[in-house]
Amino acid sequence: MNAARISLAIILLVTAAGIFSQWVAVHPHNLPSGNALEAPSPNHWLGTDDLGIDLWAQICHGAGVSVLVGVSAALLAGIGGSLIGMLAGYLGGIADRITMRMTDMMIILPDLPTMIVLGAFFGPGLINIILVLALFSWTGTARIIRSRILSMKQEQYIAAAQSYGAGFVHLAKTHFIPGVLPIALASIIRLTGRAIVAEASLSFLGLGDPTSKSWGLILNHAINFKGIYFMDCWKWWIMSPLVAILILVGAFAILARENETSAVSAFQK
């Protein structure tokens, strides 16, 4: 529980830094405010890049982009996957078989290479990245929710409700959604961390929004700077966004694990 609280505090702090980046960072994130490749100092906490732009300001601004993309993609995939899973488990038959074959096809596709192709096809842009990430993230949630719905359909109270004429909408509002909500929330939290890594990967490869200043784009800019490893600037220019990604994704992973453990314990009771 302490680990979950610490993780939640980290996520909230990073989100607040992204939302209030203009006040958290003294310098602008898109304009030079010092000399090129300045080392970390009291004036520039994380140093500057090759254009003299403050890296702390870029990290704070990029936090908002990463959280926005991660949460949006995870919500879209989580809600869509939950709805598909509920429908497949409730309807059964051919609808269930078609849905499961679709999930099998999506699972066997290599995620990153396919996302790279789609990202290049649709072009750079945050909305395109969110849609591509959600497209490859809903399958796991759908399969888990479907299994839960199949289990719930065996319960007597579901059979009793159906005998009185209850349809899918009534069962979903009254029984299915409350029953799968803990699983869906844990899945959304886990997918958020996965989406942040995927967005950073696409931006690192140059397929992200060039105006977003996301953490992956900062890494892309740093890695493409000629001779960076022959200078000391890699210690702050590369490590700053890399550490930020690791901390945020680690916090989401720990929080998702704690929520999944709580959800399993609740169902066992």
**Would you state the pLDDT for residue 265?**
57
Model confidence, pTM? 0.86
Q: pLDDT tens digit string along 194-229?
A: 899 988 888 888 777 777 788 988 998 898 888 888
Distances (CA, A) of 171 to 91, 184, 238: 12, 17, 51
Q: pLDDT tens digit string along 72-84?
A: 999 999 999 999 9
CA angle 144, 148, 150 (to 5 degrees): 115
- Residue 246 burial (CB < 10 Å; 0-12/13-18/19+)? exposed
| Residue 39 within a domain | no
Specify the higher pLDDT residue, 14 or 2. Answer: 14
pLDDT band at 113 (very low <50, low <70, confident <90, very high): confident
Specify the higher pLDDT residue, 112 or 11. Answer: 11
Amino acid letter, 25? A
CATH code for the domain in which residue 196 is found: 1.10.3720.10
Show the domain range for 219: 2-32+45-268
Q: Which of 259, 236, 85 is nearest to 168 (CA)?
A: 85
Q: In the predicted model, is pLDDT for residue 243 greater than 90?
A: yes
Using CA atoms in the order 188, 212, 13, 20, what is the torsion angle rounded to 10 degrees? -130
Q: pLDDT tens digit string along 42-72?
A: 999 999 999 999 999 999 999 999 899 999 9
**Would you state the pLDDT for residue 3?**
83
**Would you state the pLDDT for residue 71?**
92
- The number of folded domains in the chain is 1
CA distance 30 to 268: 52
Q: pLDDT tens digit string along 156-191?
A: 888 888 888 888 888 999 889 998 988 888 889 989
Q: pLDDT tens digit string along 223-236?
A: 888 888 888 888 89
CA angle 105, 108, 109 (to 5 degrees): 90
| Residue 14 within a domain | yes
Amino acid letter, 111? D
41 backbone φψ class: left, alpha, beta (φ>0; ψ -120 to 50): beta
Residue with tokens 């429908």: 87
Q: 78, 188 in Cβ contact below 8 A? A: yes
Specify the higher pLDDT residue, 124 or 80. Answer: 80
Distance from the Cα of residue 126 to its chain's centroid: 13
DSSP symbols for 24-38: H-SS-SSS--S-TTP
- The Cα diameter of the chain in Å comes to 75
249's enclosing H/E stretch is helix 239-268
Spatial neighbors of 255 by CB under 8 A, at least 6 apart, are 4, 7, 8, 11, 189
